[in-house]
Amino acid sequence: MIHYFDVCGVHVSTINLDVACHTIEEWIMRKEKQYVCVAPVSTIVDCQTNKEYLEIVNKAGMVTPDGMPLVWLGKLSGNHVIERTYGPDLMMSVCRLSEQKGFKHYLYGGTPEGILSLKNKLLERFPKLNIVGTYAPPFRAGNLKEEDAVIDQINQLNPDILWIGLGSPKQDFWMSRHRPQLNAPVMLGVGAAFDYLPGIKKQAPRWMQRSGTEWFFRLSQEPRRLWKRYLIGNTKFLFYITRDWVEKTLHIKYGQTI
SS (H, E, C) 173-188: HHHHHHCCCCCCCEEE
SS (H, E, C) 91-106: HHHHHHHHHHHCCEEE
CATH number at residue 10: 3.40.50
Report the half-sphere exposure of 20 (CA within 13 A, side-chain side). 30
Whether residue 71 is found in the same domain as residue 163: yes
Provide the residue range defining the domain that includes 248: 214-257
Whether residue 186 is found in the same domain as residue 248: no
At 176, the amino acid letter reads S
> Is the whole-model pTM more than 0.85?
yes
Whether residue 18 is found in the same domain as residue 129: yes
Whether residue 82 is found in the same domain as residue 179: yes
Helix, strand and coil in the chain, % to nearest 5: 55, 15, 30
Residue 202 lies in a domain: no
How far apart are the C-alpha atoms of 134 and 118, rounded to whole Å? 10
Residue 204 lies in a domain: no
How far apart are the C-alpha atoms of 159 and 162, rounded to whole Å? 7
Whether residue 62 is found in the same domain as residue 141: yes
pLDDT in tens, the chain (258 residues): 789 999 999 999 999 999 999 999 999 999 999 999 999 999 999 999 999 999 999 999 999 999 999 999 999 989 989 999 999 999 999 999 999 999 999 999 999 999 999 999 999 999 999 999 999 998 766 667 788 899 999 999 999 999 999 999 999 999 999 999 999 999 999 988 999 999 998 888 888 888 888 888 888 888 888 888 888 999 999 999 999 989 888 776 666 544
Residue 238 lies in a domain: yes
Closest among 124, 82, 131 to 105, alpha carbons compared? 131
